[in-house]
Structure 1
C-alpha cells in the first residue's frame, strides 16, 4: 500500500440548473462518481449511495485511498453539492470536470481549499 502525505486539494462545487432527471438515479450517480475517481487517477476503496425515493434526491460517497468524492442532490431545486478531496498524485479537477460534463449545470461555483498538516503553534 502506498503512503500519502496529508496534503491535497479539496474542491467544493455547487452545481445549479441541473436537469432533475440527472439527479435522481442512485445507479447513474454512483457510476458517474466512480468513473470520475478513475479519471482522476484515484483508488476506490468503497462506495455507498442512498436514494430518497422516486423523483427525490440522492446522497452518496466514494471512499478513496486518496480521500473521497461525495454528492448530495436536490432535483426539486435543480441543485447538486459535490465535494472532492484528494491527496497524492490524484487530480481532483479531472474528477470535477467529468461530473460537470455529465450533469451539465447552467451555473457552477467552485471553491478550492489546499489541505495540509499544520503545526499546532500556528493553528487558529
Structure 2
C-alpha cells in the first residue's frame, strides 16, 4: 500500500435537479455506490433542506461518502474517501456521477496519510 487512503473530491455540474433534490434517491444512490465499490456500509444519515438541497453521509468501514447538493444550480459536491487499498473510490465516484446525470465532472484524487499534500490537477470529463 502506497497510501493510508484515497480521497476523491468530485465537483458535479449540470446534474439532474430533480434527482439532486430527492433525498430518498440520493441516499439509495450513495449506499449503492458504496456497495458497488465493495465497501461495507455502517451508518447512513441524510437531511433534506427547505426549499431544496440534500446533504448526507454514508459511513463505511473503510471511511465515508458525502454529498451536499444544490439543485437550483444543478451542482453536487461529493467526497469519497477510502482507507487502505481494498476499495477503489473511483468506482463509487463514477457511479454517483452517472446516477446524478452529471454532464461535467471534475475529480481530484488526493492520497491520504503520506505527509505534505500535493494536490494534483483535476481531471475534467464532459458527458453528452
TM range (shorter): 0.7 to 0.9
| Segments of 4+ moved more than 4 angstroms | none
Match of 2:73 among 61, 65, 77: 77
Structure 2: segments with no counterpart, 5+ residues = 118-128
Q: Does 1 or 2 have the higher relative contact order (CA < 8 Å, sep 6+)?
A: 1
Q: How does 1:27-106 map to 2 (within 5 A)?
A: 27-53=24-50, 56-88=52-84, 89-106=86-103
For normalisation by structure 2, the TM-score amounts to 0.84
Structure 1: segments with no counterpart, 5+ residues = 1-5
The count of aligned residue pairs is: 115
Matches of 2:103 and 2:40 in 1, distance apart? Answer: 30
Matches of 1:9 and 1:117 in 2, distance apart? Answer: 10
> Which residue of structure 1 lines up, in the alignment, with residue 7 of structure 2?
10
Matches of 2:105 and 2:94 in 1, distance apart? Answer: 11
Q: Once the 2 structures are TM-superposed, how far is the Cα of residue 53 of structure 1 from its aligned partner?
A: 2.7
Structure number with bigger Rg: 1
Q: Calculate the aligned-residue CA RMSD, in Å.
A: 1.8
Q: Once the 2 structures are TM-superposed, how far is the Cα of residue 19 of structure 1 from its aligned partner?
A: 1.8
